[in-house]
Structure 1
């Protein structure tokens, strides 16, 4: 029974273990990749190498700053085109010996700052294309058991070593033939086989991290320096402490091998150590000496009878000078200073140079004292009041200091007849005087970030390049006939400077200002302008500016900052949109023309409509409809109480003679006489004629229409005909009598007289006879028609 229970339990545990193993080894995907086939999954706390879609296309894979511990055999399988692989700053402890078999095209591999204790030659067996390899900062003590780099014949950059590296022997460097840069971290070295690095031949740049090794074992340090030194090598000593003169003994090898360039980075050095270096390098070929990001704990007491006739360049940057205020002069270095041509002292707490020292620098061509504590008085002392110092100087940089007076600086430099480039940027001047003195040779002047509010004729007229970026300028109208490049970005310009003042200008940089727009007229003032940078301004995307920037500006200048930097600020509808993507309608761009065309179109439409309306009598129909509406609104009368006439006679004025001589005489002479309503005698004066017609028809028993060709052409007869029809016929009354004075062809009756056509088609009408014998019958029938209503009423 226990066996039966144990077996399912064992199966369950096995299944859980398998599921856990599957979950643990399920690959996630790297989602950050771009169109350049570069995949970046750095700093994502990944525990294993992720998968990548289309891994056979990936060129660059960045997995740095994760938590990867192991590289499996298939982690990089299929990456046949991979050129760059970054695995630094992980927790890698082991790498499968065939992990990089597929990456045959790999050119850069970074495995630095992991936890590798053993380096295997099989990793690099297929990496024939590898150019750059970084193995720094791991835990290995030796460079493998065999010939680690034997297959890496094309390697150009090699970085290896760590605080645990204890030995370097000749076999470690077998196979390296074309190395251009070497970085060695060997602070804990206890064994170095002479010639191990020397067999590599001259290397362009060698960086050594020796820390206390120079002090602890100067002979071992000497072996290393002897192997890596050559006249073609830039020797960089970094992360090292140099305290005593004895620690400088290895520099004898540097001198003997004819090294010309030495740089010290991230070091701590004392007066004694500097004196030791100077003694060891006495009469050497040293031409370049640099010291960066280091700490100097001395007082500047470097008294040594040292001759360095080839030393031309001294570069010092970010030097923590602990006792800088105690250093007064270094004129005791008279055997070195006269040969210097290029001196750089950036961010070194330098508050001035004694005039005695400046006068010794007789060959100085380049001087950079930016980022220090120079003031106007100390600058006067440094430049010896503008007399007797730096006569060969061509380039001077005193930016990022505390200078205030342009007049003073101009006077100090006016006698430097070879000065071509002057950088006075990032000081505080505020205002510029109207007149200044400058050397006539000055071609480049940098006054950027100096809080200038205006510029004047103080600017030297000989300038070819002027940098006024990042000030508070709103106007720039100083004539500079030789100016070729003008940099005024980061100011408050609302328009381009007048181009007529700069006939030689080829490059104009005016981005990040307050420009609203510019046009071809503005650019054509610049006769020789080729390159324009005007992006990131407050552009008003008007029709003219958008059209100019999209189609015309390329014919005048090159927008070297790219069209993606030209962005609309207004109108609001286009704010933040690229000018090249803006599309404005014709009404926005050509309002006057569009309105004119629109008005002309409407006018033409009205004209055509008017012609059509005239052609089809539309106006007549409208007027009739209006009057018909008036008739409809007028309340019907009580026909028995308000009837005043037997008939309202509707006739044409041209037929009035017949009406008065025949019709009226005949009907009103009858006993009893017929009461006829005629417009001539019965219409009330001053009353609207349409109302008179309506009233006359409504107060008459009948409407007698005297039809003739004149009647058809009479407007008011037409109204009377329609009133009669609207008011009476619509109610079903039979009150209209038609008298035809002359034959009328129904086809000739205008179509608009549809009522007349309808009446003539549906009613019997009386025709006026030409034969007098038949007229008695006509009158009899007419009177009978006039009396029919009474008969009907009586009945």
Structure 2
């Protein structure tokens, strides 16, 4: 009975196991993110089980989900699958036969999960697998028998993590074609001692972030000399290495590439490593000791001088602050990197054999050194105000000078670079002048011989202020800004022509005459106001005249012989003197006798008009041509329409036939007056003279009070 019960329980457990292993597809969701190339990206999908995807899928990315288990039938039928990623899940259980159907799988990523054991059965059918990543899982050892025994085509293997404490002999058994191995094993507690084996296939040795917990127990690698004879490339990066003994360095007989960047090397320990410059590491071609604590350029140049095959030297990110005048370098040196130091000047210490020179991120302001073989020059992150002179680099093809203090550059600056093809000069403080903007925009369009290869967005205007922050490629400057000399010249020429035409027009319209007379009239009016003010305060008033006579000096004989005697000295028999309405003698104002001496002529003319009841103009051709008559006529022109004189204050006498067209056009109001006012004509016949004088007296007659 007991035996039957045990058999029953065993059968029950087996049936339950089979029932669990063959879970129904109804519990699984479908992933619909598959493209035409049969690549399914199901990452970040929130899946808790392996989703359903087409069986013909070539790649399946299930990273960053919440999958905890992979069942036996989850991936069945996917015989064409080439790559599978389960990175970043909560995977703790994988059925032993879960990957059996993946015959074509070449890449498997199980990293960053919760696998506590590595089962060799997972990989027994993965004969095509070339890349396997088991990093960052909580397993403490790789397990037994050797888990990678069947992976005969494996080329890249990554394993280990914080929980890995043991590595045993045979863990990598069966892995014969491995090209790259990454092991995270910072917490190893057990590691079997290496024994003599054939390591001639070791070509590269790479160590990164190595932490030596007890520096004082650190020993040399002399006991592992059989490991040091064969590698051609050794990299020990960011691992607090402070010295490699000379005896150890002598074992690296095949060394061609040595990278000791980001460590604790000093000038003293580098001297020990390179055996005081005796030529050890004679096959070395590339040496990288950047990011250490070196301070002397002359020391490192002396130490590498006998490395007859050295072509690349990287001594960047060290503490160099100066450079000696002379240095010794191997003749084979072609690439030199001294970026990220504190250099402010360069000297002839730099070798003339260089083809690539990197001096980025220093404090350089100028570059004066002839380097005939140089093809690439990197000067970004310095303080250059302008491009170096191109004649120093007859073979230069690539120049980078970003993040300096360049203001501008143009074709004239680049013409001295005979072979320059690529320029990177962004992130500078550019002055967006017309020439610079035009040059740069043309080059952006591929019109220049030198191609600007960095991003156009890195070329930003720093000035003028209104363009600050604008991309140079989007700046649009006006013709006024870009051709100021031409614009000013044309503007001045146009302005001169306009001014000339305006002057001609004003001259033709007598505007200058009007301005001149207006100014004279204003001055005379001011004098008149002062004079009237004096009169009101009690000063002796000036005598008034019946008429002011304006005439030409050439017509003075007519005025003196006819006008004055007729008006100021009337003949007694001309009319009855006893008649109260008989003509009385008139007083005339003549400039020759009545203008006050010592006064400004304009004041006299103004005063005469103000003190006279009428103004008589003796019009003739002589009058029109007389300057003084013009003044008197000008002032009468203002006076007549100033509001102080009556509407009939002017009396026109024509000594000779004269039409209004003979009056200058600038006397427009006087011409209008001749058109609207009756004027007297001096008769040519003597018998009509009486009528003329009678009419003149009538015009001048003023009733007595």
Mapped partners of 2:555, 2:192: distance in 1 = 137
**How many angstroms apart in 2 are the aligned matches of 1:138 and 1:164?**
8
Please give the alpha-carbon distance, in whole angstroms, between the structure 1 residues aligned to 2:648 and 2:64. Answer: 122
1:692 aligned to 2:604? yes
Match of 1:542 in 2: 433
- 1:736 maps to which of 625, 644, 650: 650
Which residue does 2:689 correspond to in 1?
775
Higher Rg of the two aligned structures: 2
- Residues 555-605 of structure 1 show CA distances to partners (whole Å, capped at 9, x for unaligned) of 132111121101122232222221222333444444443333333332222
- For 2:606 and 2:561, the matched residues in 1 are separated by 26
User: Matched residues in 1 for 2:142 and 2:333: separation?
Assistant: 52
| Partners of 2:402 and 2:426 within 8 A in 1 | yes
Matches within 5 A, 1:370-389: 370-389=261-280
Residue 179 of structure 1 is matched in structure 2 by: 106
Pick closer, same or farther for the CA change 1:420–1:101 going to 2, 3 Å. closer
Contact 2:31/2:42 (<8 A) preserved: no
Residues 630-639 or 132-141, more deviating = 630-639
Deviation at 1:722, TM superposition (A): 5.0
User: Kindly tell me: are residues 108 and 466 of structure 1, through their superposed partners in 2, closer, same or farther at Cα, counting changes over 3 Å?
Assistant: farther
Give the alignment partner of residue 749 of structure 1, picking from 663, 671, 675: 663
Q: How many residues end up aligned between the 2 structures?
A: 656
SS, match of residue 555 in structure 1: coil
> Given the alignment of the two structures, is residue 707 of structure 1 paired with residue 598 of structure 2, yes or no?
no
**Alpha-carbon distance between aligned partners in 2 of 1:764 and 1:542, rounded to the nearest angstrom:** 73
Partner of 1:392: 283
**Post-superposition shift, 1:161?**
9.3
What is the alpha-carbon distance in structure 1 between the residues aligned to residue 119 and residue 353 of structure 2? Answer: 63
Instruction: Please show how residues 109-508 of structure 1 align to structure 2 within 5 Å.
Output: 109-111=41-43, 116=48, 118-120=49-51, 123-125=52-54, 128-129=56-57, 131-135=59-63, 138=66, 140-141=68-69, 143-151=70-78, 153-159=80-86, 165-170=92-97, 172-175=99-102, 177-183=104-110, 187-189=115-117, 193=121, 196-209=122-135, 215=141, 217-219=143-145, 222=146, 224-230=147-153, 233-239=155-161, 247-254=168-175, 257-269=176-188, 273=191, 275=193, 278=194, 304-508=195-399
Aligned partners of 2:141 and 2:105: how far apart in 1? 32
Note closer, same or farther for the CA distance 1:340–1:661 as it changes in structure 2 (3 Å cut): same
2:483 maps to 1:561? no
Judge conservation of contact 2:524–2:606 (CA < 8 Å) in 1: yes
Q: Is the 8 A contact 1:204 1:233 kept in 2?
A: yes
Matches within 5 A, 1:551-700: 551=442, 554-629=447-522, 634-635=528-529, 642-670=542-570, 674-700=586-612
Which deviates more, 419-428 or 319-328? 319-328
RMSD: 3.3
Contact preservation (8 Å) 1:495, 1:516: yes
Describe the superposition over 1:29-51 as per-residue Cα deviations: whole angstroms up to 9, x where unpaired. Answer: xxxxxxxxxxxxxxxxxxxxxxx
Report SS of the residue matched to 1:522. helix
Separation in structure 1 between the aligned mates of residue 63 and residue 587 of structure 2, nearest angstrom: 132
Gaps of 5+ in 1: 1-93, 279-303
2-side partners of 1:128 and 1:758: how far apart? 110
Structure 2 portions without partners, runs of 5+: 1-24, 572-583
User: How has the CA–CA distance of structure 1 residues 630 and 178 changed in structure 2, closer, same or farther, with 3 Å as cutoff?
Assistant: same
In the alignment, what sits opposite 1:766? Answer: 680
Note closer, same or farther for the CA distance 1:113–1:430 as it changes in structure 2 (3 Å cut): farther
Query: 2:142–2:171: 8 Å Cα contact kept in structure 1?
Result: no
1:708/1:740 contact within 8 Å kept: yes
CA distance 1:166–1:763, change in 2 (3 Å):
closer
CA contact 2:120–2:148 (8 Å) conserved in 1: no
Q: Sort the Cα spacing of 1:365 and 1:404 in 2 relative to 1 into closer, same or farther, 3 A.
A: same
Contact 1:504 1:527 (C-alpha < 8 Å) held by counterparts: yes
**What whole-Å deviation, never above 9, does each CA across 1:524-573 have from its counterpart, x for those lacking one?**
12111111111111222233322332235751321111211011222322
2:31 corresponding residue in structure 1:
100
Deviations 1:712-739 (A, max 9, x none): 3445434434544643574435343322
TM-score of the aligned structures, taking structure 1 as reference length: 0.75
Give the number of the structure with larger relative contact order, counting CA–CA contacts within 8 Å between residues 6 or more apart.
2
TM-score, scaled to structure 2: 0.84
